[in-house]
Each structure stands twice: as structure tokens, then as C-alpha cells.
Amino acid sequence: MTIQGKAFRRVTSGKGSQTDPAWAPAGGRLAYVAGLVEAGTTIWAVLANGKGARRLTAPHARAELKPSWSPDAGSIVYQDCASGT
């Protein structure tokens, strides 16, 4: 959406939920977690215009992956541990 909160546009797609959005430092790409815990969640990255979606990880059996970009946007880090540990 615009800074004024107008012109909404969906940039993610797929079955299940899309959560934990993380914008790259320059704002051109978005990383997010997609899927269902029962079927496995994965981290995806997509361009800000919604094109070029690409899966970055194999399916995980948990949803708490919390992706985060490195300062130069060259890497994404995420947690992969059971809740509460």
C-alpha cells in the first residue's frame, strides 16, 4: 500500500497462511513464512511488486521461523527450534 494507506495490493499467494513478513533493508523484497504447520511451513521471498516468488527453505514442522534480512540484504536468517526452547 502507499504511505497514505491506499492502493492495497497482495504480493503473496498460496495455501495456508502467510505470516512474519520481513522487508529487505532497501524495501525491494519481502521474506515471509507460508503454509500450514500440519503440512510444513516454508520461507519465501518475493519482489515488492508481487512477482518472482521463490521458496527458500524446505518445509518445517513449525510456524515460528521468523525470517530476518542481513543488513546488505544478501542473506536471510531464521530460527528453527521448537517453541519454548
Strand 76-77, strand 68-69: pairing: antiparallel
CA angle 21, 34, 17 (to 5 degrees): 90
> Domain range spanning residue 65?
17-77
DSSP 14: S
Residue 54 lies in a domain: yes
d(CA 20, CA 64): 8
Question: Is the pLDDT assigned to residue 9 strictly greater than 70?
Answer: yes
Residue 83 lies in a domain: no
Q: The whole model's pTM is what?
A: 0.80
**pLDDT tens for each residue of 25-60:** 988 999 999 988 777 888 999 998 889 999 998 887
Q: Provide the domain count of the chain.
A: 1
**pLDDT tens for each residue of 16-34:** 788 899 999 988 999 999 9
